[in-house]
Structure 1
Amino acid sequence: MHSNPSLNKVLRPVHLWALAVGLVISGEYFGWNLGWKVAGTGGFLIATVLVTIFYITFIFSYTELTAAIPQAGGPFAYAHKALGPLGALVAGYATLVEFLLAPPAVAFALGSYVHFLYPSLGVIPVAIGCFVVFTLINFLDIKESALFSLVVTLLAVAELLLFMGIVAPGFRWQNFKQDAMPFGWGGVFAALPFAIWFYLAIEGVAMVAEEVKDPQRTIPRGYIYGIVTLVLLALGVMFFTGGVTDWHKLASIDYPLPEAISIVLGKQNGWTKVFAGIGLFGLIASFHGIIISYSRQLYAMARSGYLPAVLATVNKRFRTPHIALLVGGGIGIIVVRFGNTNDAITLSALGALMLYIVSMISLLVLRRTHPNMERPFKVPLYPWFPWTALVLAVVCLIAIIWYNPKLSIYFFGALLVLAALFMAFRRKTHQ
């Protein structure tokens, strides 16, 4: 056990910015538009504003935890310190559901974008191929993986700015406000998981904390620069896309941005094909970043005894958790083969919200039980920011449960079974 090498500390603020934005940026390319289907443009705008307020308050609060406890387990480590083993189990389960089910949703979109460019290539084979290729890429040293993430994230951000510039002349206010709230306030709540998709997974930066140089200073910078970038991109993309045509045409597809450009410029225009091609960079950035994050979460939970110890094995040459990468990739391929984008997004959002709730409770508890703990970064306007994030997370969770009862039963049923097995095992080992 002692010969197992540690993770490599090489990441700087620019790498964390790229990872924070890259983890999430696919949410600007697809998935969010499904919110129009249940809420309309106006209802979804309200949902997005609520979720944006939540993520701003959450990230400032979460940064305090990440800088104070820079461990690969992220929320699992925070909950363990604040709430004990059972709290850590809940946080770890929620994190794994979020990060293991988000990549299949991105893989579906990658397959759809490639199919848009080359109709002879099927969506599912391309999605499975993406898991194979990017699992192998992540076998490399974290420094090479982070550099790859930086390059594709910069390309993805540049592309979204280009997209807004291309479609802005075609924006018509009457298109955006047409049938703006067809389902009233109920639609606003139904749209919350799709608004969350704009920002979901940004907290994955915490899972590379053990690979960061000077984490107490580097992590806050990476998080704050990242959330500012994402808020501007999310609101800009949603607003401009909603005004180029009758939004109903874009509400149910996995490639809304290329379709919006084709409406403005025409399907035969060269920019339409070019944009669809380089649009893959945004999806690749998220796909790549989330694979990094779930492998570190599996590694951290296995290292702490919550998962089989083999998942904590670190490759001696590249110092990456290669067994965790293989297992996570295998789960993703199974979900791609038998699941769908909508369910993957909803379950991932359920996991994320449970993680957010446990993390905010952990922050509030640690402030009370460990007042003298070193905190290189302190959340502003305490306790208003963490309490605002906690309340909004609970509201979003209730909304998703209300509109997705079957998936919620699966999610919470599995959690209860795991918790019961965990408590029974602990009692047996302590006898």
Structure 2
Amino acid sequence: MFINFPEINDLMIQDREVTIPKMVTIRQHFDTYQIADIPLHIREQMEANAGAPERFKGKRIAITAGSRGIPNIVVILRAICDILKEWGAKPFVVPAMGSHGGATAKGQEEVLASYGITEAGIGAPIRSSMDVVQYGTLPNGIPLFCDKLAFESDGIVICHKIKPHTDFRNEHESGLCKMIAIGLGKHKGAAAIHSQGFCGFGSFITEAARQFLQAAPVAFGVGMIQNAYDEIHTLEVIPGAQIMEADARLLKAAKQQLAGFKFDDIDVLIIDRIGKNISGYGFDPNVVGRSNSRCYGFEDPVRIKRLFIRGLTPESHHNGSGINEADITTRRCLNDIDWSETWTNLITATEIQGSKIPMYVNNDKEALTIALRCCNGAPRPHRVARIKDTLSMKELQVSEALYEAIRDQPDIEYVRGPEEILFDGEGFMS
């Protein structure tokens, strides 16, 4: 369901002069380590930690694949499948993404295909279904579900990246336990747990994972951490009995690798694109702040007066989750959102406040002008920052005033500028 938002005309926005600042391109420095040979690393990890190859012979092994963007995910899944086949197993991939992909089997298979996760790409079948079986119940009576194809297999490989969640703080956040409780739960399981809201979410996924590991035929886990440059920093193959311990340990390590701003005072932040492949929230509140639920333990990492979101990633499949946190956007951005897809996702998460639509105007130049015009506080040259998305924090642009405030930091490198922001004939940034 797309909505054709009308043009906005005759806004009175010029009662105070606004100057769009020139921008300086800078480079932020983070830990650069990454795994150089991923297939070799996976082979070494599987040989050391997955168990004896003989136990996999003739077994149907289900491997989870989620909707989050993971660098080299096709290489990773292909390596796992190739080794399992060498050991005589019959691996297949199941989408484990809750209600994403429009909460349909076809939609979830299409999400995986957009990442290159196809039978041809990984050398194993993709088996997508929304059918589930119940394996347990939370103490409050909420049922726990698992993808039927995975649960009835001979072994499940819980494969996912581990990172801080966007809405809550807990020993287990976004990672293997959440993949078990929400991703493998499909639409029915995700909706059941999300019905309780995020404030108890951490304890729910912890208990769900505990029961799952007792009830399901878990073969092993594969936990990954990305570095600040969106490369695989850590990848561990984890025996089934150690999944919960490893999930908590790797979360602590992931928080140390998270890319963010090397400064914390921004008047206007411009985000070029948001999307489900970037974060479940479209952008990562661990970088930007503005968490949808602002629940227990979550604090904004940076002060931002106005947020301007310009568009969506193609990989988001028109899911506009997160657009509600923008102070302003454009008509073009809103017209690109599939509201049925977005609202289905938000209803499943019970976070319907995320369906709010921000102020919009006709183009980027108007939006930026209004955002600058509406920065209240003591007069000063505007501190503006522009990022491609919250996974792209290595190189970004900052206004001259902001650059002057941070230029002497050892982890900030000058690249070029200052330069005018270029707009095309329709008023959109290049």
TM-score range, shorter chain: under 0.3
Compute the TM-score of the two structures, normalised by the length of structure 2.
Answer: 0.23
TM-score by length of 1: 0.23
Structure whose alpha-carbon radius of gyration is higher: 2
If each structure's helix is expressed as a fraction of its own residues, which one has the higher value? 1
Structure number with the higher strand fraction is 2
